Amino acid sequence: MKHILSLISEEVEKILLQLGEKKYRINQILSWIYDKYCINFEEMTNISKSLREKLMDIFDFTMPQIDAYQKSKDQTEKYSLRLSDDRLIEMVFIPNDKKNTLCISSQVGCARNCQFCATATMGFIRNLEVEEIVAQLFIAQKLHPENKITNIVFMGMGEPLDNYDNVIKAIQIIQSDKGFSLSPRRMTISTCGVIPQINKLADSGIKIKLAVSLNAAIDTKRDIIMPINKKYPLSDLKKSLIAFRAKTNYRISFEYIMIKNFNMGDEDVKALIKFAGDISCKINLIKWNNVPNLSWESPSNEDIEHFITKLSKISAAITVRQSRGDDISAACGQLISQRLLEQENSKTENNL
C-alpha cells in the first residue's frame, strides 16, 4: 500500500483513473491534501463516502506524530517527530517577518561523522521515506495556517544526498503545481560534499539551490572535522561545483562554521579566498553552536569581525548567519534526538 504523500500528482491520477474515477475528483482530493492540509479521508466532505472508503483501502495515510515541542526565546520552534517504526527525527520552524523557513531532516541520524555536529553522534540509523520527508512540510504548514512556509532547507538531520532518490522525489512533490507549489528558488539542499551525487543532481534537471558545508579550505583541517574530505578532497570538490554551477541557475552557497583557534587564522582566510574566489557563490559564516561533549569553542563577536575584515578581498558575497533557536538546541549543528539515542542504546543492551 503506497502512502498518498509519496506520490506525485500524476501517479495519484493514474491510480484513480484506472479505478474509473473522474479527473475532477482527483483534483478535489489533491486540493484537500495540499491546499487545506487535510489527509484524513473521512473529513473530505465533498467526496462520496464510497470513494472515501476506496481511498482508505488503496492508500496509506499514517503520519508522524509530534513527540516533543520547544519554542525558543527568538520564536524558533523545534519539533521532535515520532515515525511509524518509533524512530525520532527533528524539524525546525524559523519565522522571520514575511519569511518562514522550515529546516527538514532527510535521515534518522547521519553517517558522515562531521566532528562539530550533534547529529553525527547518533550514527546512521536509516533513510527517511519520501512521505516522511514531505510530511514534515505538511505538519509544519498545518500547525501554522496563518504563516505560509516560504522557504525549505534540507539542513536538518542527515546528509540529503545520501538519500538521493527519496529526497529528489520529495522535492518534486513539494514543487509540483498540484503539490505544495513551492518555488525552486525557495529551496536549498545542503551537502557535506558527496561528489557523485552533486554531479547527478547537476544532470537531473531538478531546480534547487545547493549549499556546501565547507568549514575549512585546507585539506588537512577539513580532514579532521569532515571525514568525507579524505574521500572527496577539496580539489575534486571544486571541480564538481564549477561543473554544477555551469549547469544550473543559482549561485552556490558555502556554509562556513567558524571555530575559534581552528579555522579562522590568516592561512584559513588565504585558502578560502583561493578556493571560493573564482566561483559564483556566496559565503554564509556561522558561529559554531555549542554541542555537549564536543570540545570546540565558539568565536567571540570580536573574533568574527576580525575574520570578516580579513575576508574583505574575496569577490563573493559574505553574510553572517545569526544562530536561531540555540537556547533549545535547534540551531545549526545541534539537532539530535537524545531520547532516540537512549532508546537505541537500550535495545543494544537488551540484545547483548
Residues 115 and 175 in one domain: yes
State the Cα–Cα distance between residues 86 and 71, nearest whole angstrom. Answer: 23
Q: Which residues are part of the catalytic machinery?
A: 90, 332
Q: Half-sphere exposure of 49 toward its Cβ, with a 13 Å CA cutoff?
A: 0
Q: Do residues 31 and 81 share a domain?
A: no
343 to 83, 85, 111, 258, 337: CA distances (angstroms): 14, 12, 18, 33, 10
Domain boundary among 34, 60, 86: 60
Compute mean pLDDT per 10 residues along the chain, 352 residues long, and list them: 94 91 89 94 90 91 96 96 97 93 97 95 96 98 94 98 98 96 97 98 96 98 98 98 94 97 98 94 95 92 96 91 91 82 60 54
pLDDT at 341: 64
Q: State whether 55 and 197 are in the same domain.
A: no
Number of folded domains in the chain? 2
* Together in a domain, 42 and 77: no
- Looking at the structure, tell me whether residues 288 and 185 fall in a common domain: yes
Torsion angles phi and psi, residue 63, rounded to 5: -130, 150
115 and 36 in one domain? no
Domain CATH for 20: 1.10.150.530
Return all residues near 254 (Cβ < 8 A) that are at least 6 apart. Answer: 211, 212, 214, 276, 281, 282, 283, 284, 316
- Regarding whether 112 and 43 lie in a shared domain, the answer is no
Question: Is 39 in the same domain as 170?
Answer: no
Structural domain for 41, as ranges: 2-60
State which amino acid sits at residue 159: E
CB proximity list for 66: less than 8 A, separation 6 or greater: 79, 80, 81, 82, 139
Per-residue pLDDT reduced to its tens digit, 248-294: 989 999 999 999 999 999 999 999 999 999 999 999 999 999 998 89
Q: What is the pLDDT of residue 340?
A: 66
Measured CA to CA, the distance from residue 25 to residue 29 in angstroms comes to 6
pTM over 0.85: yes
Same domain assignment for residues 54 and 69 = no
pLDDT recorded at residue 343: 64
Q: Which of 60, 82, 108 is the last residue of a domain?
A: 60
Q: What is the pLDDT of residue 322?
A: 86
| 41-71 pLDDT per residue, tens | 889 999 989 889 989 999 999 999 999 999 9
161 and 299 share one domain: yes
- 35 and 123 in one domain? no
Whether residue 31 is found in the same domain as residue 90: no
Q: How confident is the model at residue 23, as a pLDDT?
A: 86
CA 170 from chain centre, in angstroms, equals 11
At 339 the pLDDT is 66
